[in-house]
Chains A and B, each alone.
Chain A
Amino acid sequence: MKKILIALSLFLSFNLIKAQDLVKKIPSNAFTVATIKGDNVFKLMFVKDFNESFVGKKLLTETSKSLDKNFTSIEDFGINLEKNMYYFNQLSDSITYNCFLIPIKDANKFESLIENKEKKFTQQGDIRTMVLPDSTSIIKWNNNMLYFVTGSIKSSFFADSAKSARYGIKDIRFMRDDAMATDSVAVDSAYATTEAPMVEAVDAPPIVEKVKVQKKPAVKKNTKKPVSRKKSGKKKNTKKAKNTAKTNPDFDYSTTSVTDTTGDMTPPDSIIDEQYDTYQQERAEQDAKKKRLAFTWMTAQSDHIFNGTYQSIETNKSYTSSLDNKAIAELWVSSLQDVYNSIAPEFGTYGKAGLMKGYGSLNAKLFMDDKSFRISTGMELSQEQADSYKKILNRKLNKKFLKYVNSEKALGFMSYSIDTKAYLEEFPKLLKQTYGSFMGAKMDEEMNLGADLISLLLDEEAVSKVIKGDALFVINGLNTKEVTYTSYEYDDDYNQKEVTKTKNETLPDFLFMFSSEDTRLINKLIKYGVNKKLVSAEGNIYKIMEKKSPIDIYFQIKDGIVFFGNSLTEMQGIQNNQYSSNKLSKIHKQLLSQNNFSFLFNAQNLVGKVPASEIGGEETAKKFNSTLEKMGNVYMKSNPVKGRLVSADISAEIPNGHENALKYLFSLIENAAK
């Protein structure tokens, strides 16, 4: 019994520790969540090491200087470094909140950070609040956490007078009565011509109309931007008008009054000035109102985060399933479709919802370990789309390709494999899903028709036999080739004589291949090319007769594979079945054969291979080689579709002699700063 109790309490305390993770404070409707995992970071690098590192020292001395204190460790900031730090944002139609949640270890230390700056904070219970100058952000903290929020009002929301009126906010535009009657272009042109006849300005309505407060929502759509444009334009013109008046002492006011039908004597420039002043004043008032409103909302939001009870993001399955406890940092965006929809109103009429339909959440994770950096990205799709992708990606790279990769020499390769038939069948569907709503419901029929038309015109089956859908591009090292060039020699009289010299050029040998079951079409094409003298044949190897090309390109068909390459010897080797490197490393084999897409760049195989004379001298060559030496292998690969998730990884190995990727990164930064 006792044991059970102990176990239970242990379990509970474990949960308690976990409960303190600030993720609980992130509301379930958060749109983006970014995490830095303190414990994982400081597993790779002790706090002490960090303090002593170049970056750490820089950070400490800079903060010490700016705050007039003496920090010796990042622990002095009072932050709990073993816990996760979060950023999230929340979007609504009227305001966007950008929020940070930072775990606190020692609130006093944190307070001492800010108190010197003569910033005051208020305290209620153990919750302390500080408002940053000009009230754009709020910081709230207690002994365990710190919350920082900054909100920005959405202009599109307040452009809608019905909505903004609810908050007592008016939308202000600078416009005069007559201009309103016509259009804004007329206003501009009227003022652009101030230089010439002053009379023109007199056309303005003499009675100083109060700055127009727009009430017609129809005109509202183009609010903020046009306003600011008009504002600046107007200002300039007003000044101009003023100047003209001043520099022109002979200005005849009587003329003004003659043309001035209503008999108002106010000079036109002052009318505009006055109008503009009123406009600015009113605008500033409305802006202040918006700011106050934003502050009220932010205050409520931050109180809610601290004291309210609500569902946390942990109830969001998409979020929780995106996590990986080995990651150093994580990013999650709720859905691509939502991203689009949230910015869509800013696009005006084009911002139709529904574009990017089917694209769900996005996530990215950063990993660092003793061997490499790795970024893993993923995107959730709708079931329908995921099924399409599964069909398309249902192909593996032709195994015969593998013997043409030489891991010992290869500078890099890139491969992909898709099912051409499935691709051609699924592509119109995907296109329709993604862009269909953009075209509008009216276009639905046309979209369907288009999709059918493609199917009708293309015999997917037949096409997929010609191009099966897998391809490999590989560079198996560098080769030296002798090339001729023209130079000059000089006789006893220094008369010029043209001579042909030779030199060696180092060029990479590439090989590109794709599978083809049905080569009849390609053979016909070759025949056509030969007839038209676009291609020359040397046995079964063909050369492309392209004058412009700086290199020779050969191609051939062999064992259901179409090869392209720039080395005749390699091509001949393939033709005679003598080309087989059998030097494919296990890692490369896995990379190529298990993924639909793979990429490798092996910088090490390039180190010292390019003669200095061809890079531009010893010095450049040295730099070039040392950069390469610092680079490990860089890989990219796509992962198989899992459920509704498509994902891909990029990883970069770190060179030998470094403890782990984080420390290596720090050393790189240090080197770069030197």
Chain B
Amino acid sequence: MNLKQFYKLLLFIFLIPVLSSCFEVIEEISMKNDGTGDVTLTINLSQSKTKVASVMLLDSVQGYKVPSKQKIQQELNEAVSYLKKSEGISNVKSTSDFNNYIATISFSFKDVSNINNITKNILARQKIKATNTSSYTYNKATKTFSRKYQAIGTAKTEFNKLKAKDKAVFNGATYTSIYRFESVVTSSSNPASNVSKSKKAVMLKSSITDLINAKINVSNTIQLSK
């Protein structure tokens, strides 16, 4: 028995509790008054790093293939090169930390509508069907920022088809969106959202399962002071 096999054996014991993991997905958009801005997407699995590290040692878990570190890095790079080619997108950067299992992608846009479809296209390249349609608009004249979000009905049915064991993976996972502005926010239409003390940022936090099950809608219209 070599060391790797020994680790694998151990894992079966260490993974006795069902594979649930806490992870965060954070989407930050900083809007400038002129309509340009920056985006940072973060996925943080560090709360579950013991489990993730364990899973990374396996070839597959619960019937799903576990990607290698190289594969993850490669896909991240592909996403970056795709972004670089996208219209209106510049300054694309990515980071990956395989000790804490945190990955980020950040870039600048000319107009916030440039980022519509980007996530969807990136996911499509990985042959993953997007779970929602989401679009952003910023009206410079009225200084209105809006996000239209629509959960795709099939996502919910697909999700409910998963075994309880697999669904548990998403328990405790959160999605956070933060929009920052140069002007003061006068209103934010989504009741689940919070406006910061400085009134220049809006945050919305929800659990990923609620998002998939369409229990929460992250659509929002934010009015900035003129």
Q: Give chain A residues whose Cβ lies under 8 Å from the Cβ of B197.
A: 492-493
The yes or no answer to A483 lying at the interface (CB within 8 A) is yes
List 27 A–B pairs whose Cβ atoms lie within 8 Å, in order of A's numbering.
Answer: A475-B13, A485-B49, A485-B100, A487-B46, A488-B44, A493-B201, A494-B178, A494-B196, A494-B201, A503-B47, A546-B3, A548-B56, A548-B57, A549-B57, A550-B50, A550-B51, A550-B57, A551-B14, A610-B16, A613-B172, A615-B17, A615-B20, A616-B17, A616-B172, A617-B168, A620-B20, A623-B164
The yes or no answer to A664 lying at the interface (CB within 8 A) is no
Of A290-298, A427-435, A504-512, A583-591, which binds chain B?
A: A504-512
The yes or no answer to A203 lying at the interface (CB within 8 A) is no
Chain A: CB-nearest residue to B69: A548
Instruction: Tell me the minimal C-beta distance from A11 to chain B in angstroms.
Output: 57
CB contact list, A348-363 vs B, under 8 A: none
The yes or no answer to A311 lying at the interface (CB within 8 A) is no
Q: Are B13 and A510 in contact (CB under 8 A)?
A: yes
CB contact list, B156-207 vs A, under 8 A: 164, 168-169, 171-172, 178, 180, 196-198, 200-203
A496-B28, A615-B20 given; A620·B171 CB < 8 A: yes
A551-B14, A617-B172 given; A487·B47 CB < 8 A: yes
A490-B203, A510-B10, A620-B18 given; A485·B46 CB < 8 A: yes
The yes or no answer to A111 lying at the interface (CB within 8 A) is no
Q: Are A508 and B14 in contact (CB under 8 A)?
A: yes
Q: Are B100 and A624 in contact (CB under 8 A)?
A: no
Q: Are A486 and B18 in contact (CB under 8 A)?
A: no
Q: Are A610 and B3 in contact (CB under 8 A)?
A: no
Chain A: CB-nearest residue to B57: A548
Chain B residues at the A interface, C-beta cutoff of 8 Å: 3, 7, 10, 13-14, 16-18, 20, 24, 26, 28, 44, 46-47, 49-54, 56-57, 100, 102, 164, 168-169, 171-172, 178, 180, 196-198, 200-203
Instruction: Tell me the minimal C-beta distance from A333 to chain B in angstroms.
Output: 31
Q: Are A486 and B46 in contact (CB under 8 A)?
A: yes
A620 to B168 Cα, complex, angstroms? 8
Instruction: Tell me the minimal C-beta distance from B194 to chain A in angstroms.
Output: 9
Q: Give chain B residues whose Cβ lies under 8 Å from the Cβ of A486.
A: 44, 46, 100, 102
Instruction: Tell me the minimal C-beta distance from B92 to chain A in angstroms.
Output: 19
A483 to B57 Cα, complex, angstroms? 19
A479 to B17 Cα, complex, angstroms? 13
A613 to B49 Cα, complex, angstroms? 15
Instruction: Tell me the minimal C-beta distance from B8 to chain A in angstroms.
Output: 11
Q: Are B178 and A490 in contact (CB under 8 A)?
A: yes
Q: Give chain A residues whose Cβ lies under 8 Å from the Cβ of B54.
A: 550
Name the one of A505, A508, A606 contacting B50, with C-beta atoms under 8 angstroms. A505
Instruction: Tell me the minimal C-beta distance from B115 to chain A in angstroms.
Output: 19
The yes or no answer to A461 lying at the interface (CB within 8 A) is no
Q: Give chain A residues whose Cβ lies under 8 Å from the Cβ of B200.
A: 493
CB contact list, A611-638 vs B, under 8 A: 613-617, 620, 623-624
> Contact size class for A?
20 to 34
A430 to B123 Cα, complex, angstroms? 55
A610 to B172 Cα, complex, angstroms? 16
A620 to B56 Cα, complex, angstroms? 24
Most buried by A among B24, B28, B169, B196: B196
A617 to B180 Cα, complex, angstroms? 33
A489 to B224 Cα, complex, angstroms? 25
Q: Are B13 and A508 in contact (CB under 8 A)?
A: yes
Q: Are A616 and B171 in contact (CB under 8 A)?
A: yes
Chain A: CB-nearest residue to B48: A485
Q: Give chain A residues whose Cβ lies under 8 Å from the Cβ of B203.
A: 490, 494
A664 to B211 Cα, complex, angstroms? 42
Name the one of B16, B53, B180 contacting A606, with C-beta atoms under 8 angstroms. B16
Q: Give chain B residues whose Cβ lies under 8 Å from the Cβ of A494.
A: 178, 180, 196, 201-203
Instruction: Tell me the minimal C-beta distance from A27 to chain B in angstroms.
Output: 46
Q: Are A616 and B178 in contact (CB under 8 A)?
A: no
Q: Give chain A residues whose Cβ lies under 8 Å from the Cβ of B178.
A: 490, 494, 496
Q: Give chain A residues whose Cβ lies under 8 Å from the Cβ of B7.
A: 549
Q: Are B102 and A624 in contact (CB under 8 A)?
A: no
Q: Give chain B residues whose Cβ lies under 8 Å from the Cβ of A495.
A: 180, 201
Name the one of B14, B44, B196 contacting A507, with C-beta atoms under 8 angstroms. B14
Chain B: CB-nearest residue to A611: B17
Instruction: Tell me the minimal C-beta distance from B221 to chain A in angstroms.
Output: 18
A487-B44, A548-B57 given; A492·B198 CB < 8 A: yes
A615 to B102 Cα, complex, angstroms? 22
What 1/0 flags go to A508-520 for Cβ under 8 Å of B?
1010000000000
Q: Give chain A residues whose Cβ lies under 8 Å from the Cβ of B20.
A: 614-617, 620
Known: A483-B49, A494-B196. 4 other contacts (CB 8 A): A486-B46, A493-B198, A550-B51, A610-B16
A522 to B40 Cα, complex, angstroms? 51
Instruction: Tell me the minimal C-beta distance from B97 to chain A in angstroms.
Output: 8
A456 to B24 Cα, complex, angstroms? 59
Instruction: Tell me the minimal C-beta distance from B183 to chain A in angstroms.
Output: 13
Q: Are A483 and B50 in contact (CB under 8 A)?
A: yes
Q: Are A493 and B180 in contact (CB under 8 A)?
A: yes
Instruction: Tell me the minimal C-beta distance from B69 to chain A in angstroms.
Output: 9
Q: Give chain B residues whose Cβ lies under 8 Å from the Cβ of A485.
A: 46-47, 49, 100
Instruction: Tell me the minimal C-beta distance from A93 to chain B in angstroms.
Output: 42
Instruction: Tell me the minimal C-beta distance from A219 to chain B in angstroms.
Output: 44
Q: Give chain A residues whose Cβ lies under 8 Å from the Cβ of B51.
A: 550
What 1/0 flags go to A559-582 for Cβ under 8 Å of B?
000000000000000000000000
Q: Give chain B residues whose Cβ lies under 8 Å from the Cβ of A488.
A: 24, 26, 44
Q: Are B53 and A492 in contact (CB under 8 A)?
A: no
Most buried by B among A487, A508, A620: A620
A606 to B17 Cα, complex, angstroms? 10
A490 to B13 Cα, complex, angstroms? 38
CB contact list, A470-493 vs B, under 8 A: 475, 483, 485-488, 490, 492-493
A613 to B17 Cα, complex, angstroms? 10
Instruction: Tell me the minimal C-beta distance from B80 to chain A in angstroms.
Output: 21
Chain A: CB-nearest residue to B55: A550
A623 to B46 Cα, complex, angstroms? 27
Q: Are B24 and A487 in contact (CB under 8 A)?
A: yes
A623 to B18 Cα, complex, angstroms? 11
Q: Are A492 and B47 in contact (CB under 8 A)?
A: no
A325 to B144 Cα, complex, angstroms? 85
Q: Give chain B residues whose Cβ lies under 8 Å from the Cβ of A506.
A: 17
Chain A: CB-nearest residue to B13: A508
A505 to B49 Cα, complex, angstroms? 11
Q: Give chain B residues whose Cβ lies under 8 Å from the Cβ of A496.
A: 26, 28, 178
A116 to B164 Cα, complex, angstroms? 46
Q: Give chain B residues whose Cβ lies under 8 Å from the Cβ of A546.
A: 3
A613 to B18 Cα, complex, angstroms? 11
Q: Give chain A residues whose Cβ lies under 8 Å from the Cβ of B24.
A: 487-488
